[in-house]
Copies of this chain bind each other. A is one copy, B any other.
Amino acid sequence: MASKMPPPRFVRSVLKSFMAESGLEPRHKYDAHANKLRITNAAESKVDFELRITKDHTNRLQILHGGTIASMVDFGGSLAVASMGLYATGVSTDLNVTYLGSGGKVGDIIKATAVCDKIGKTLAYTTVTFWNQNGELAARGSHTKFVAKAWEASPLFTPPDGAEIADKVD
Protein backbone atom coordinates (compact mmCIF):
# COMPACT_ATOMS: atom_id res chain seq x y z
CA MET A 1 0.00 0.00 0.00
CA ALA A 2 1.18 3.51 -0.66
CA SER A 3 2.40 5.26 2.44
CA LYS A 4 0.80 8.14 4.30
CA MET A 5 1.39 11.48 2.61
CA PRO A 6 1.27 15.12 3.62
CA PRO A 7 -1.84 16.95 2.33
CA PRO A 8 -0.26 18.71 -0.69
CA ARG A 9 0.95 15.50 -2.28
CA PHE A 10 -2.11 13.51 -1.25
CA VAL A 11 -4.58 16.01 -2.74
CA ARG A 12 -2.57 16.09 -5.98
CA SER A 13 -2.74 12.29 -6.07
CA VAL A 14 -6.53 12.43 -5.75
CA LEU A 15 -6.56 14.90 -8.64
CA LYS A 16 -4.49 12.43 -10.68
CA SER A 17 -7.07 9.80 -9.94
CA PHE A 18 -9.90 12.09 -11.08
CA MET A 19 -8.03 12.63 -14.35
CA ALA A 20 -7.28 8.96 -14.84
CA GLU A 21 -10.65 7.49 -13.96
CA SER A 22 -13.26 10.19 -14.37
CA GLY A 23 -14.56 11.15 -17.77
CA LEU A 24 -15.52 14.66 -16.79
CA GLU A 25 -12.07 15.75 -15.70
CA PRO A 26 -9.87 14.01 -18.25
CA ARG A 27 -6.22 14.70 -18.65
CA HIS A 28 -6.63 16.46 -22.00
CA LYS A 29 -9.09 18.93 -20.55
CA TYR A 30 -7.64 19.71 -17.15
CA ASP A 31 -4.12 18.52 -17.79
CA ALA A 32 -1.82 19.64 -15.03
CA HIS A 33 1.21 19.24 -17.29
CA ALA A 34 -0.37 21.62 -19.78
CA ASN A 35 -1.00 23.90 -16.83
CA LYS A 36 -4.71 23.94 -17.47
CA LEU A 37 -5.80 22.92 -14.00
CA ARG A 38 -3.28 23.38 -11.25
CA ILE A 39 -3.42 22.90 -7.50
CA THR A 40 -1.39 25.81 -6.24
CA ASN A 41 -1.70 25.05 -2.55
CA ALA A 42 -3.17 22.32 -0.38
CA ALA A 43 -3.37 22.06 3.36
CA GLU A 44 -5.72 20.20 5.68
CA SER A 45 -9.23 21.56 4.92
CA LYS A 46 -8.17 24.06 2.21
CA VAL A 47 -7.17 23.68 -1.43
CA ASP A 48 -6.28 26.50 -3.82
CA PHE A 49 -6.48 25.76 -7.51
CA GLU A 50 -6.58 27.61 -10.78
CA LEU A 51 -7.76 26.91 -14.29
CA ARG A 52 -6.34 28.37 -17.49
CA ILE A 53 -9.50 28.89 -19.54
CA THR A 54 -9.57 27.24 -22.94
CA LYS A 55 -12.25 26.95 -25.59
CA ASP A 56 -13.38 23.74 -23.82
CA HIS A 57 -14.58 25.75 -20.87
CA THR A 58 -16.51 28.61 -22.47
CA ASN A 59 -20.09 29.32 -23.56
CA ARG A 60 -21.57 31.02 -26.64
CA LEU A 61 -20.49 34.39 -25.23
CA GLN A 62 -16.89 33.13 -25.23
CA ILE A 63 -16.63 33.48 -21.48
CA LEU A 64 -16.31 30.81 -18.79
CA HIS A 65 -19.43 28.62 -18.87
CA GLY A 66 -21.71 28.52 -15.83
CA GLY A 67 -21.67 24.75 -16.23
CA THR A 68 -17.89 24.70 -15.98
CA ILE A 69 -18.07 26.67 -12.75
CA ALA A 70 -20.76 24.34 -11.38
CA SER A 71 -18.52 21.38 -12.26
CA MET A 72 -15.63 23.03 -10.47
CA VAL A 73 -17.80 23.51 -7.36
CA ASP A 74 -18.42 19.76 -7.47
CA PHE A 75 -14.80 18.99 -8.20
CA GLY A 76 -13.38 21.58 -5.76
CA GLY A 77 -15.62 20.43 -2.94
CA SER A 78 -14.34 16.91 -3.53
CA LEU A 79 -10.73 18.08 -3.34
CA ALA A 80 -11.55 19.86 -0.07
CA VAL A 81 -12.87 16.55 1.29
CA ALA A 82 -9.70 14.86 0.03
CA SER A 83 -7.64 17.43 1.93
CA MET A 84 -9.06 15.93 5.14
CA GLY A 85 -7.36 12.67 4.19
CA LEU A 86 -10.13 10.86 2.30
CA TYR A 87 -9.10 9.30 -0.99
CA ALA A 88 -12.69 8.42 -1.83
CA THR A 89 -14.64 11.64 -1.46
CA GLY A 90 -18.26 10.48 -1.22
CA VAL A 91 -21.30 11.43 -3.26
CA SER A 92 -23.06 14.77 -3.60
CA THR A 93 -26.29 15.62 -1.80
CA ASP A 94 -26.71 19.37 -2.43
CA LEU A 95 -24.78 21.81 -4.59
CA ASN A 96 -25.43 25.54 -4.96
CA VAL A 97 -23.70 28.15 -7.08
CA THR A 98 -24.20 31.92 -7.13
CA TYR A 99 -22.72 33.71 -10.13
CA LEU A 100 -21.58 37.26 -9.40
CA GLY A 101 -19.60 38.20 -12.48
CA SER A 102 -17.68 36.95 -15.49
CA GLY A 103 -15.15 34.21 -14.83
CA GLY A 104 -13.04 35.36 -17.77
CA LYS A 105 -12.30 34.55 -21.41
CA VAL A 106 -10.03 32.08 -23.21
CA GLY A 107 -6.47 32.52 -21.98
CA ASP A 108 -7.45 34.01 -18.63
CA ILE A 109 -6.74 32.25 -15.36
CA ILE A 110 -9.52 31.80 -12.84
CA LYS A 111 -8.46 31.14 -9.25
CA ALA A 112 -10.46 29.15 -6.73
CA THR A 113 -10.27 28.25 -3.06
CA ALA A 114 -12.10 25.18 -1.78
CA VAL A 115 -12.64 24.78 1.95
CA CYS A 116 -13.96 21.86 3.96
CA ASP A 117 -15.92 23.71 6.65
CA LYS A 118 -16.82 20.59 8.58
CA ILE A 119 -16.66 16.84 8.17
CA GLY A 120 -18.54 14.31 10.25
CA LYS A 121 -19.13 10.59 10.00
CA THR A 122 -21.93 11.09 7.50
CA LEU A 123 -21.72 14.51 5.88
CA ALA A 124 -19.03 16.89 4.72
CA TYR A 125 -19.71 20.59 4.09
CA THR A 126 -17.58 22.50 1.61
CA THR A 127 -17.46 25.91 -0.03
CA VAL A 128 -15.69 26.99 -3.20
CA THR A 129 -14.96 30.62 -4.11
CA PHE A 130 -13.81 31.85 -7.53
CA TRP A 131 -11.97 35.03 -8.53
CA ASN A 132 -11.40 36.13 -12.10
CA GLN A 133 -8.10 37.44 -13.44
CA ASN A 134 -8.90 40.96 -12.19
CA GLY A 135 -9.29 39.63 -8.68
CA GLU A 136 -13.07 40.13 -8.72
CA LEU A 137 -15.36 37.61 -7.06
CA ALA A 138 -16.79 35.62 -10.00
CA ALA A 139 -18.80 32.95 -8.21
CA ARG A 140 -19.22 31.12 -4.94
CA GLY A 141 -20.64 27.71 -4.25
CA SER A 142 -21.60 25.29 -1.53
CA HIS A 143 -21.31 21.53 -1.86
CA THR A 144 -22.58 19.04 0.72
CA LYS A 145 -21.35 15.45 0.38
CA PHE A 146 -22.40 12.15 1.91
CA VAL A 147 -19.14 10.56 3.10
CA ALA A 148 -20.24 7.65 5.33
CA LYS A 149 -18.72 5.08 2.99
CA ALA A 150 -15.74 7.21 2.00
CA TRP A 151 -14.25 6.86 5.50
CA GLU A 152 -13.91 3.11 5.02
CA ALA A 153 -12.16 3.19 1.65
CA SER A 154 -8.55 3.50 2.78
CA PRO A 155 -6.48 4.82 5.71
CA LEU A 156 -6.31 8.61 6.00
CA PHE A 157 -3.93 10.36 3.62
CA THR A 158 -3.04 7.04 2.00
CA PRO A 159 -3.81 6.26 -1.65
CA PRO A 160 -4.91 2.67 -2.27
CA ASP A 161 -2.64 0.13 -3.92
CA GLY A 162 -2.11 0.73 -7.59
CA ALA A 163 -3.16 4.36 -7.48
CA GLU A 164 -1.21 6.89 -9.48
CA ILE A 165 0.85 8.99 -7.12
CA ALA A 166 1.68 12.65 -7.58
CA ASP A 167 5.30 13.73 -7.47
CA LYS A 168 6.66 14.91 -4.19
CA VAL A 169 5.83 18.57 -3.55
CA ASP A 170 8.51 20.82 -2.20
Binding site for B on A (CB under 8 A): 17-18, 21-26, 54-61, 65-68, 70-75, 88, 91-101, 117-118, 122-123, 125, 127, 137, 140, 142, 144, 146, 148
Contact A66 B74 (CB under 8 A): yes
Alpha-carbon distance between A152 and B47 when the two chains are bound, in angstroms: 38
How many subunits of this chain does the assembly comprise?
4
- Answer whether A55 and B23 are a contact pair too, CB < 8 Å, given A73-B70, A101-B118, A118-B100: yes
Contact A94 B144 (CB under 8 A): yes
In-complex Cβ contact of A74 among B22, B26, B57, B70 (8 A): B70
Chain B residues closer than 8 Å to A137, beta-carbon distance: 117-118
Alpha-carbon distance between A55 and B24 when the two chains are bound, in angstroms: 8
Contact A17 B60 (CB under 8 A): yes
In-complex Cβ contact of A98 among B57, B65, B93 (8 A): B93
Instruction: Identify 30 residue pairs between A and B in the complex whose beta-carbon atoms are under 8 Å apart, listed by A's number.
Output: A18-B60, A22-B65, A23-B54, A24-B57, A24-B58, A24-B59, A24-B67, A60-B88, A65-B71, A65-B74, A66-B91, A66-B95, A67-B71, A71-B71, A91-B99, A93-B93, A93-B99, A94-B96, A94-B98, A94-B142, A94-B144, A95-B99, A96-B96, A98-B144, A100-B118, A101-B118, A122-B122, A127-B140, A140-B142, A144-B144
- Answer whether A60 and B98 are a contact pair too, CB < 8 Å, given A67-B70, A67-B71, A75-B67: no
Alpha-carbon distance between A170 and B92 when the two chains are bound, in angstroms: 39
